[in-house]
Amino acid sequence: MPYADLKRATLLALFAALPTVVTAQGAGSSESPNIQADQSTATTDSEKGLLPLEELRTFTRVYDHIRNSYVEELTDAQLLEYAIKGMIAELDPHSAYLDEESFEDLQENTSGEFGGIGIEVGMEDGFVKVIAPIDDTPAKRAGIEAGDLITRLDGQPVKGMTLTEAVEKMRGPKGSELTLTVMREGMEKPFEVTLKRDIVRVKSVRVRLMEDHYAYIRIAQFQVNTGKEMVDALNKLREENEDIRGIVLDLRNNPGGVLQASVEVADAFINDGLVVYTEGRMENSDMRYHANAGQVAEDLPIVALINDGSASASEIVAGALQDHGRAVILGTRSFGKGSVQTIVPISDARAVKLTTALYYTPNGRSIQAQGIEPDVEVERARVTAIRGPKRSTEADLSGHLGNVNGGEESTSQSRAERDKDEGSVEDNQLHEALNLLKGLHIFQLQQAARAPLPQMPENAAESGTAESSSAPAE
């Protein structure tokens, strides 16, 4: 086919594809759009769904130049696919063109098993940015942190790659090695980390008992069945342990996942009302998600942990619990990924992941680029318990008087035994969450048992004085 005919055919193919996009935006109809030739009204007519002719001419000139002059011969199919990828890559870090392999990877991510190093990523300034490492993966074990920028993959610069291309390069067979060059805030120079790829199996929910009285719920990622798994696990824990006094909901380094799963988790702790709503340009992008009546732990206080690795669906849960006054949010400001991506099929094997709306909390707060501000800000820090020299107390003295109220005597030995449980001290944010729950429990007990103080006799001041004395140290 002569190239002039090819160019015309290419333009016709582009025109044929555009009405679907225009209709999806609510700006046109199923008929072919008009071509705009008048530059003076380009902006107005563009809003009406008309195509700017001069920009189309520029496109065909660039297309022609690349096809004839590039050092390697490229097919028309390759060039058009590159054009689509480039167009979508310029929109935002979360929109993407999905070929058959990418679409399969997306399905694997939401189902909970895939191959790779185990990180949730986005793009920032041309580099791959770590949103969060996934629990029990090579990346987590190697110390990769939320906020790290990956500049090279096996020595190859990331600049110039699309996010999809970078993710594909990080995937590989189990046992194969991948070297990351990482830039981290607070460090002057990049450093390298070599990881061994593994089959990443994401366990969405973990539940355990802490200090005999507190439920710890860790949600690593929101998958299709996360809501049901969390409710079942919490109910089982409560059946086995009757005296549970509070819940720590750990959403730190949770990169998000399935929207409906986050709604189900928030619904489990909220009686009724709005959980989250979305707004976008498309008519069907305006959605409202409400909680159903009933809670799994209505009688228990909740502290939810977040940090800068908490994104998307985890921010929806934190924002809903915060707006409904159902939980105290503790930690640091979340990531701020408050946009909705819709998978739009283009063919049987290809699709576009396109940002179509923004998330809002029940009180109308936009999560996008703002994140969730914690009620109690606690930075992550290394905490070491200080052990001073062994000291004696009154209860250690031979022949000491017992407690007249029958209370348990606190010896230095019994305190030492209690101090053995230091697991929460190493994680200072979790430690603070537990302390907060303990304080809330004590306050509730005090309020429930509050009674009038006994009245002192009027002549109490005349009945004598009491002195406290101790022998001087020798």
End-to-end CA distance of the chain: 109
Would you say 222 and 258 are in contact if contact means Cβ atoms under 8 Å apart?
Answer: yes
DSSP type of residue 16: H
The most distant pair of C-alpha atoms in the chain lies apart, rounded to whole Å, by 118
254 CB-near residues (< 8 Å, 6+ apart): 132, 219, 220, 221, 222, 309, 310, 311, 313, 314
Active site residue 424: no
Task: Point out the catalytic residue in the list 267, 308, 323, 427.
Answer: 323
What are the Cα distances from residue 102, in Å, to 57, 231, 325?
A: 32, 32, 40
- Catalytic site residue 339? no
3-state SS class at 139: helix
Characterize the bridge pairing of strands 328-331 and 302-306. parallel
312, 334, 339, 424: which is the annotated catalytic residue?
312
Q: Which of 256, 230, 233 is nearest to 317 (CA)?
A: 256
Contacts of 259 (CB under 8 A, 6+ apart): 222, 289, 313, 316, 340
CA angle 355, 129, 192 (to 5 degrees): 160
Q: Please report, for residues 98, 282, 457, the alpha-carbon distance to residue 50 in angstroms, rounded to integers and kept in the order given.
A: 27, 18, 92
Q: How far apart are CA 328 and CA 17, in angstroms?
A: 49
Cα of 284 vs its chain's centroid, Å: 25
Q: DSSP secondary structure string, 150-194?
A: EEEETTEE-TT--HHHHHHHH---TT-EEEEEEE-TT-SS-EEEE
To the nearest 10 degrees (0 to 180), the angle between helices 226-240 and 259-269 is 30
Give me Rg for the CA atoms of the chain.
Answer: 30
Within 10 A of 187 (CB to CB), how many other CB atoms are there? 10
Type of residue numbered 85: K
DSSP secondary structure string for all residues of 74-115: --HHHHHHHHHHHHHHTT-TT-EEE-HHHHHHHHHHHHTEEE
- Considering the candidates 337, 339, 353, 424, report the single residue annotated as catalytic: 337
| 310 in active site | no
Contact status, residue 81 vs residue 88, Cβ threshold 8 Å? no
Residues tagged active-site: 312, 323, 337
